[in-house]
Amino acid sequence: MSLGQLLCNHTDELVQRWYARWLRERPPIPDLNEATLKDHLPLQLRVIGEALREDDSSRPPARELWRQPERLDPEKRALDEVRIAEVVREYAFLVEEVRIWLNERGEQFSFQDYSYFSLAIFELTAESARRYALFRSEQVARERAEYVAGITHQLRTPVAALNLAVQQLERGKGAPNARILERLRRTVGRLARLVDGLMRLERFKPDELPIHPESLAPAHIIDQIVADYEHEASTKGLRLDVSANRSARILVDRDLLVDALGNLIQNAIKYTARGFVRVTMEEQKDGVVFKVEDSGPGISPERQRELFRPVSPGQPGGVGLGLSIASRAAAAQGGSLELESEPGRGSTFLLRLPWAVRKRE
């Protein structure tokens, strides 16, 4: 029997044998399910087998076997988070297992046939790597576009408020209105903090962020942040509640605390159509917990799993971007950011921080 015929007739046996080998080798992705792992392997073995059964003169070059989309699907593997190094490893196992299987059967084939099989697997691996890289680059481009859209959306609100305040100043006569000047000052500060937060997000990993702790009254910080968003909340008819011990003090980085709380409060107001947004601080033995609760629509379990991905450019609208900034600000100071939410029952974000964080340059 020819090598091509053997590959076609014993595809399932070879795939199962290869899968057993993969399990023995302590796979780097132990939770990868069997169906995802095997993927298109049976089809690929049959394609090679069919090509080998043809005459030498009619054989296509091995590299052309994998140009048809239905014979290879590295895009799905990328979505399943299968690294290309794992794909290369899988095909190396396949070549070894086929060789061992043929030796056990005592089958003898021409050097040309076996070389064709090896070349086909090599080309399959190369084409997988090429298409995987192309897919990932396109995926990164899409995510970057969404990321930029998120930044634009985050900047739009303070810029609009800044523009409105400037127009009011231009229309005024005599000395500028103190209320308008105060709103202008807060808006400029809010815009500056947002830009600083974005720069920190782009430049540093959480464990690399510079930390400059200072003794702060968290209640005062909360008041300042809430004041920045009072106008938006009142426009929507939302009730803003704050509860914090006025005498409490913590040793944290002011900018990172504002990064975290500011984004949580902004998101709560943005996505709550009616009802309330409540900010509270709880003192615990090992640190403090800031809670930002809202009466908004809540967040589905599926969406919750996406919110805290390590690299999340954010959807247009800015939720993912704001939470990325908040999550990094918490992690950098040895804290954490958690979420409790059910669809239709609002959301509660919990920012946990130690009483004192260490300085880091």
- Tens digits of per-residue pLDDT, 277-323? 999 999 999 999 999 999 999 998 888 877 766 444 434 334 457 78
- Flag whether pLDDT at 197 surpasses 90: no
Q: Tell me what percent of the residues of the chain surpass a pLDDT of 70.
A: 81
Residue 240, classed as helix, strand or coil, is strand
What integer is the mean pLDDT of 55-81? 64
| Alpha-carbon dihedral sign for residues 37, 42, 43, 47 | positive
- Flag whether pLDDT at 226 surpasses 80: yes
Strand partners of residue 294: 277, 347
Instruction: Give the number of C-alpha atoms closer than 13 A to the C-alpha of residue 121, restricted to the C-beta side.
Output: 22
- Flag whether pLDDT at 196 surpasses 80: no
Rg (CA), the chain: 29
- Phi, psi angles (nearest 5°) of residue 294: -145, 165
**Residue 136's pLDDT band (cuts 50, 70, 90):** confident
**Residue 274's pLDDT band (cuts 50, 70, 90):** very high
What integer is the mean pLDDT of 150-175? 73
User: What pLDDT is attached to residue 231?
Assistant: 81
Neighbours of 178 (CB within 10 A): 8
User: What pLDDT is attached to residue 142?
Assistant: 77
What integer is the mean pLDDT of 255-270? 90
**Running DSSP on this structure, what letter comes out for residue 314?**
-
- Name the one residue in this structure whose structure tokens are 């394609």: 47
